[in-house]
Structures are given as structure tokens and as C-alpha cells.
Amino acid sequence: MNTLLKSSLLMTTLSSVIYAGGDMKKLEFENTVVEKNELANNLMNGFFSSYGIGGSKIMLDDTYHKALVISSKTGYMFENDISIYLLGESNYYRHTGDINDMGISGIGMGYAIPYTSNKFTIDALVGIGMNINYNKVFKKFNTSYDFGLAYRTSITYQINNSFNINMSYSKFDFNTNATELEDTKPKIFGINFTYSFDAKSFLD
């Protein structure tokens, strides 16, 4: 009788250990999946995009031109308030009667200033600048554009989660002067109203 009782207790103990171990492994697996999902969501939440429209002042030697600015930016914000992004910006204006676009495409880095509650962000960008004369594109293509290095610094004020005001200063250094600009090192002062949104939905 004692032997039978001991055998039953032993089998019950072994069964409990087996089932308990199975549940623990399942729980550990579920926890791992949850942690991975949280990590993926945190990474995805760092992506952002924005579109902007505004006005600018293009300085060409002693003259200046008013321009319409359209821009787009896509990047990633890290937890330490530093972001990296790709920017494309066009400044549409008239020069000697023709429609021109002085634009910049490049990669930049921004820093959200903590003691302003991250309302202000400063950033700097380097890339390729180009001036395109659209009236000459189909007439004489090799005289319709100039290009070279471009640099940009800006400060952004966050109005709310979606809308921002961006003020920028850009400097160009064109290698050519096919479009016959008065200055191959023009400067642009611009102000944009931008709409920012979480880019997570586009990456799901």
C-alpha cells in the first residue's frame, strides 16, 4: 500500500513539474513576443514625415526675388532628441521673365532643445543645390540648369503635434552659370508652415 501511495505521489509530482514547465515555457515565449512587438512599435514610432509651404527671399548679388517654397522631409527621431532626415525643397521664382526653381536636396541632422520642452528644434543640412530654368528645359537643355553644393541651417517651432513654423537660411555654391544668374553663390531666407505626421502608417 505504501509503495502504491509513493508511486502515485511520484507520478503526480512528475506530471506537475512537466505541465508547470510547459506553462513556463509558453509564458516566456509570450513575454518574448510582447517585448519584440513593443520594441518594433517604439522603432516605428520614431519615423516622421512633413510637408511645408511658405515663402522665401532669394538673394542674387544686389538683387532679390520673392519665391514660393514647397518642401518635404522624411526622417527618424531618436530617444535622445536627435533626428536625421532627408529633405527636398524647391523655391519657385521669376528671373528675367522665366520661371526658375532654386532647390536643395540633402541629408540633415536636427536637435530638439530640451529646456524649451522640445518646442524648438535646430538643424543643419548639406546636399546638392540646383537652379532650373523651366523655360529653357525643352529649348536648350544644357543651358537650363546649374548645380553645386548647398548648405542649410534652420530653426523650427512646434505649434502642436501636427503644425510647425520653420525659418531657414540656405547658401549655394554653383559650379556653373548656364542659367545666367547674377550670382553663383546665392542665399535664401525662407519661412515655411509645415504639417508633420507619424510615418508609421506608411510602414505597416
| Domain coordinates in residue numbering, the chain | 1-45, 49-203
Question: Which residues are CB-contacts of 144 (< 8 A; sequence separation ≥ 6)?
Answer: 132, 133, 134, 136, 137, 178, 179
Question: Which pTM value belongs to this model?
Answer: 0.76
pLDDT score of 22 more than 60: no
Residues 151-183 pLDDT 10s? 999 999 999 988 999 999 999 999 999 999 999
Q: How confident is the model at residue 189 (pLDDT cuts 50, 70, 90)?
A: very high
* Residue 197 confidence (pLDDT): 72
pLDDT score of 150 more than 90: yes
16 or 85: which carries more pLDDT confidence?
Answer: 85
Average the pLDDT over 90-117 and give the result. 94
* Residue 39 confidence (pLDDT): 44
User: Considering only CA atoms, which of 23, 63, 84, 47 is closest in space to residue 200?
Assistant: 47
Q: How many residues does the chain have?
A: 204
Domain 49-203 class? mainly beta
Q: Please, are residues 43 and 193 in contact by the beta-carbon 8 Å criterion?
A: no
Average the pLDDT over 122-132 and give the result. 97
